[in-house]
Structure 1
């Protein structure tokens, strides 16, 4: 994990509260993209989720699983 990722995890917490288990990988990627705009605005993966290659899409998977797991534990 990159340093100074507290804001990123705060955004993931918002997804948890707003979407719960209905969160999608594209939501996770959108939150990451918004955070990355402040960290590295030129990052090559700041683009719509559907435009990412399969490998890059997969990088959102662990966070998607974590958010959904937390949502199920809260219900």
Structure 2
């Protein structure tokens, strides 16, 4: 991934630094809803390897509040059990790897 690359045009396909990060995340977290993938991509851009579990949870909670507003885990991160908090770790690791080239 080249973060400095603003755009590379190949016929009708434009690939940007955002696409690079989104693709890296998608390969590590298959099956995510596109909207959630976009939120995690934003976290990769603004937090990078410093992303916190609470950040991942907040992004998920924003997405989930649109798809299932009655979900019991739409609460502040610190109100979750440690077991539920730990579910965010693979996504935080993926966000970090997406911007560091594989190192969490």
**TM-score for the superposition, normalised by structure 2:** 0.66
Aligned to 2:74: 46
Q: How many residues align?
A: 73
- For residues 1-75 of structure 1, the aligned pairs below 5 Å read 5-73=33-101
CA-to-partner distance for each residue in 1:9-68, whole Å, 9 max, x for gaps? 100000000111111000000000000000000100000000000111011111000001
The runs of 5 or more residues in structure 1 that have no matched partner are none
Greater strand proportion: 2
What is the CA distance between 1:7 and its match in structure 2? Answer: 0.2
What is the CA distance between 1:4 and its match in structure 2? Answer: 7.1
- CA change 1:16–1:4 in 2 (3 A) is closer
In structure 1, distance between residues paired with 2:81 and 2:65: 20
In structure 1, distance between residues paired with 2:90 and 2:32: 19
Larger radius of gyration: 2
What is the CA distance between 1:72 and its match in structure 2? Answer: 1.1
Greater helix proportion: 1
The runs of 5 or more residues in structure 2 that have no matched partner are 1-28
